């Protein structure tokens, strides 16, 4: 296709300064994504108060946000530097597979989070029965299972992932077909579901707020909607907005290319596409740190843990030496 040929030429003919800037920006985003989400996992591991059912989904989202750059970014970074795809067909197919799977895991996890908030705020009486630890683990397992199955119809139809010189990674071909439609099904159903869930949740919260204002003594006592539930719901919704802000332009670009059957945009647009896909993984650790005190405190502990531990060791050593001197006297 003419568009792909042009993009290949543009990729090879970049000036050295452009190569350096694009590589550094991409590396910076990848590094921050991995470190930020590792901090999320460590925070949940170290702080017992963070080991709640809703935070199970935060953990899975962090895992998918780490796995995506680790499995797919190294090939794209090398390609960005060299200006060409230097790997074989198997690497291309593996990268294309993991790009699709990890993106689906992220979206479906956000959808499970929205359903969790729906039951906690709207269907409060059923919440503890539906979202037990066992049920939550089953939901997460199904989420991963469905995501892993998404590429199967495309690959089983004889199609293969191809390197896209604009996006700098291997992806589906641009054509209208049933296997391509399944991708939009995987994106559309979760997006509609989480949108409806949050719409009902915020409708319920507005009614709850009016009840509280009208009668402070009977502030939705039977529904058990606490300020903590409201705060957690708002934080989760902000992460959804961040995800959709990054992935909506991506979906539009893919839709236009699929409808036209060719690459339709300049190389710079596709590079921005690549950055947006990885930038979505940076947002969640920042949101948790800014809006959740427990996460913020754990981030601080992780940043200064070495210094604090060293101080404790020094104090203990000083105390031991003082004790020995005292006993010798």
157 neighbors 239 (Cβ within 8 angstroms): no
Q: How confident is the model at residue 222 (pLDDT cuts 50, 70, 90)?
A: very low
Q: In Å, how far are 28, 91, 195, 242 from 268, measured between CA atoms?
A: 18, 24, 31, 22
Task: Between 302 and 151, name the one with better pLDDT.
Answer: 151
Q: Please state, in angstroms and rounded to a whole number, the distance separating the CA atoms of residues 65 and 95.
A: 15
Mean pLDDT computed over 257-269: 86
Please spell the DSSP secondary structure of 219-273, one letter per residue: SSTTTT--HHHHHHHHHHHHHHHHHHHHHHHHHHHHHHHHHHTS--S-HHHHHHH
Lowest-confidence region among 66-80, 103-117, 311-325: 311-325
Tens-digit pLDDT profile for residues 24-59:
999 999 999 999 999 999 988 888 888 888 889 999
Please spell the DSSP secondary structure of 46-66, one letter per residue: H-GGG-SHHHHHHHHHHHHHH
Q: Look at residue 324 in the predicted model and tell me its pLDDT.
A: 41
Rg of the chain over Cα atoms, rounded to whole angstroms, equals 24
- Those residues with Cβ within 8 angstroms of residue 289's Cβ, 6 or more apart along the chain or in another chain: 295, 296, 299
Tens-digit pLDDT profile for residues 150-174:
899 888 988 899 999 999 999 988 8
pLDDT at 314 > cutoff 80: no
Tens-digit pLDDT profile for residues 160-209:
999 999 999 999 888 887 877 888 888 889 989 999 999 998 888 887 66
Q: In Å, how far are 161, 169, 262 from 96, measured between CA atoms?
A: 6, 7, 18
């Amino acid at each position: 296709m003419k568009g792909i040929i042009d993009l290949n030429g543009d990729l090879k003919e970049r000036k050295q300064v452009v190569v350096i800037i694009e590589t550094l920006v991409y590396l910076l985003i990848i590094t921050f994504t991995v470190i930020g989400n590792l901090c999320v996992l460590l925070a949940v591991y170290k702080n017992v108060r963070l080991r709640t059912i809703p935070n199970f989904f935060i953990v899975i989202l962090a895992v998918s946000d780490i796995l995506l750059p680790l499995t797919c970014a190294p090939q794209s970074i090398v390609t960005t530097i060299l200006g060409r795809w230097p790997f074989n067909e198997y690497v291309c197919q593996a990268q294309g597979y993991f790009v699709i799977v990890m993106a689906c895991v992220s979206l479906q996890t956000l959808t499970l989070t929205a359903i969790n908030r729906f039951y906690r705020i709207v269907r409060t009486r059923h919440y503890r029965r539906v979202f037990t630890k066992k049920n939550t683990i089953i939901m997460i397992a199904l989420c991963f299972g469905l995501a892993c199955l998404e590429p199967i119809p495309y690959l089983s139809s004889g199609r293969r992932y191809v390197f896209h010189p604009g996006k700098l990674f291997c992806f589906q071909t641009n054509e209208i077909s049933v296997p391509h439609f399944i991708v939009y099904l995987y994106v559309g159903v979760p997006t509609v579901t989480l949108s409806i869930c949050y719409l009902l949740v915020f409708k319920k919260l507005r009614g709850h707020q009016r009840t509280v204002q009208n009668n402070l003594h009977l502030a939705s006592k039977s529904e058990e909607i606490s300020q903590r539930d409201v705060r957690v719901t708002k934080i989760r919704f902000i992460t959804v907005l961040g995800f959709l802000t990054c992935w909506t332009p991506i979906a539009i670009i893919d839709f236009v290319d699929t409808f036209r059957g060719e690459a339709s945009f300049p190389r710079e647009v596709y590079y921005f596409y690549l950055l947006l896909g990885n930038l979505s993984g940076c947002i969640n650790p920042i949101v948790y740190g800014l809006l959740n005190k427990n996460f913020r405190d754990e981030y601080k502990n992780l940043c200064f843990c070495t210094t604090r531990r060293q101080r404790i060791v020094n104090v203990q050593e000083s105390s031991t030496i003082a004790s020995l001197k005292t006993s010798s006297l």
